[in-house]
Amino acid sequence: MEPKTLDHVAFWVADREPLVDFATQYLGMHVIDAQENFTLVGSNARRGKLTLFAAEGPRERGAIKHVALRVSDLDRARAALPDGSGDEVELGEEIRVRLVEAPTDVEYDLDHVALYTNDPERTADEYTRLGFEHTTPSAEGNPRVEVGGAYVEFHRGDPGLPEKPLLNHLAVLVDSAEEHTAEAEDMGIVESVVDAANTLAVFVWGPDRVRVEYVEHKPTFSLQ
């Protein structure tokens, strides 16, 4: 498996509008696509994005700890947040967003996703089977894996077995979803295959029942 970039992080939420309003007002994002069952927001359609799927609430936190967005000037990004905010804010419905200063071509791009897991080192090893690459731990010492300059990092904690998880899936961009489907079938981890208007994707089960999407942008992909 050969993912290219961390494309988006998707959540199940009960009320999308307040979360969309926060992201567009304070996090440099705009609505890229809005459908009956989901809203896609981001600062750039071809870089890191957040997808908010409509679902019954309340949701259970499960494996997700936070999503971190990369900015070139942390002081300026922090100043754009509501008064009294720190480097981490709640988008709504317990979705935590952290700001990280690092060189970036696109402001508010995805920097990392932090997940709870009972055995961080072992979970990091398991993600390498999914095409992620080992890299140096975070500044706090948490094991992490890398894809296209972004990271998934693993924090010790019990993800549980939520019946209604907050996290829908993590998505990575690939050149060929069909090839990844065949490989995932051989591994026995395919959850579903989705052929949509602009994308073709295979969803697989990762560690701790976290779904990972391998998504291919079709030639018709034209979101702004």
* 178 membership: H or E segment, kind and range: helix 177-187
pLDDT at res. 95: 98
- Going by the DSSP 8-state scheme, the letter that residue 82 receives in this structure is P
Q: What's the confidence (pLDDT) of residue 200? A: 85
Q: What are the pLDDT tens digits along the chain (224 aa)?
A: 788 999 999 999 999 999 999 999 999 999 999 999 999 999 998 888 999 999 998 999 999 999 999 999 999 999 999 998 989 999 999 999 999 999 999 999 999 999 999 999 999 999 999 999 999 999 999 999 999 999 999 999 999 999 999 999 999 999 987 888 788 888 888 888 888 777 888 999 999 999 999 999 878 766 65
Burial of 70 per CB tally in 10 Å (0-12, 13-18, 19+)? buried
- Please report the pLDDT score of residue 81 as a whole number: 96
Residue 68, pLDDT score: 98
Q: Residue 96 pairs with which residues in a beta bridge?
A: 90
Cβ distance 12 to 166 under 8 Å? Answer: yes
